Amino acid sequence: LAVDPLNPILVLNVAIRHFERGEQQQAERLYLRLVNAPQPAANVGFALHVFYYRVGRFDEAIRWLRHFAIAGRGNVSDVSDSDIAGYVREVAYAYLRIGKFGEATDWSALADSYDPNRIASDTFAFSSRIMQGQTAEAAEIVNAVAASLGPQASTLDADIRSGLGLRHIIVGQYEQGIKLLEPEISFDVLDAGRRYGQKISTLEHILHLAFAYRQTGRSEDAIELLKKTETVLERLIAEGAHEIPDIYTSLALAQGLLGDGAAARTSLARAIELGWIDYHFAIHSDMWAQAFQDNDLRLLLSGVKDEVDRQSAVVTAADAATDFRTEMEEILASREPRQ
């Protein structure tokens, strides 16, 4: 970087490295350096979106997607329908995470119009139902997916099996979830050399499996898994994950499920301080309710709710001035047919 400070490939790679180490401020400075370059790379806007999305600043994630979509409105002809759908689904999830459920659903429908994808549509619909506390409706989605797969479920890709298992557990179908998720759990993914995105996903699976063990009477298995998770998380923090909020929420859940309420509150407070903002999932989660059973979870998360509402208001005001989805539909409508 000292030799070529505006080389987009170099800057993006170093920014990603900083982010994976939990060094958010250093990563953000590098991303914004590219924005101010004489000719910003086409993928800078999406990179900024991913960064801000992963650190819980969804209003900024949406702002940068909007900025670069408008700036590059004449360059969409060569973009495939599947890539457009992927981009639009990212917008849908950002709206979802700040509680703008109707708008998020509209964005998801726009994505489906360019690339109908049953897995993507079901995943979004499930997430939306869960974040609105509509567990019964979410269970219907899981059951429909499981029924469509039938006996093939056990032969599917490991990520699909574990994802389906996780969803079974979230809606209270613990035995089905354990059957699918248990064979896929491995602490090897939590080794120091892996990316934190992989680690966070694995931690989510491990914690839900431990919760399912407890709900089905396998308390000893749950305690063993939770203690091992707590040890690994403390090691990750010592190794440099001290700025990653999801590491602390995972630690808070492990501590809470082990009965250490004071430690759980301390870890959760640190996660919130670092920008954790997944309010709508946590407030409707049975696992979260059990981890913090001696406390008023809504009170603990009141500051998080305030930040979600603030971000939602920022996006609402921006859309009131110029509706982002209308702009995007106009940009996409102007595409020349691909040859």
* 19-48 as b/e: b if 16+ CB within 10 A: bbbbbbeebbebbebbeeeeebbeebbbbb
> 233: which residues sit within 8 A by CB, 6+ positions away?
203, 247, 250, 251, 254
How far CA 99 is from CA of 310, 315, 316, in Å, comes to 11, 11, 11
What does 197-209 look like in DSSP terms, one character per residue? HHHHHHHHHHHHH
pLDDT digits (tens, 9 = 90+) for 184-243: 888 877 775 556 667 788 899 999 999 999 999 999 999 999 999 999 999 888 877 667
CA distance 251 to 257: 10
What does 260-282 look like in DSSP terms, one character per residue? -HHHHHHHHHHHHHTT---HHHH
CA distance 203 to 184: 12
Q: How confident is the model at residue 112 (pLDDT cuts 50, 70, 90)?
A: very high
Angle at the Cα of 313 from the Cα atoms of 34 and 134, rounded to 5 degrees: 105
Q: How confident is the model at residue 3 (pLDDT cuts 50, 70, 90)?
A: very low
**128-151: average pLDDT:** 93
Entry pTM: 0.88
CA distance 247 to 225: 16
Higher pLDDT, 49 or 282: 282
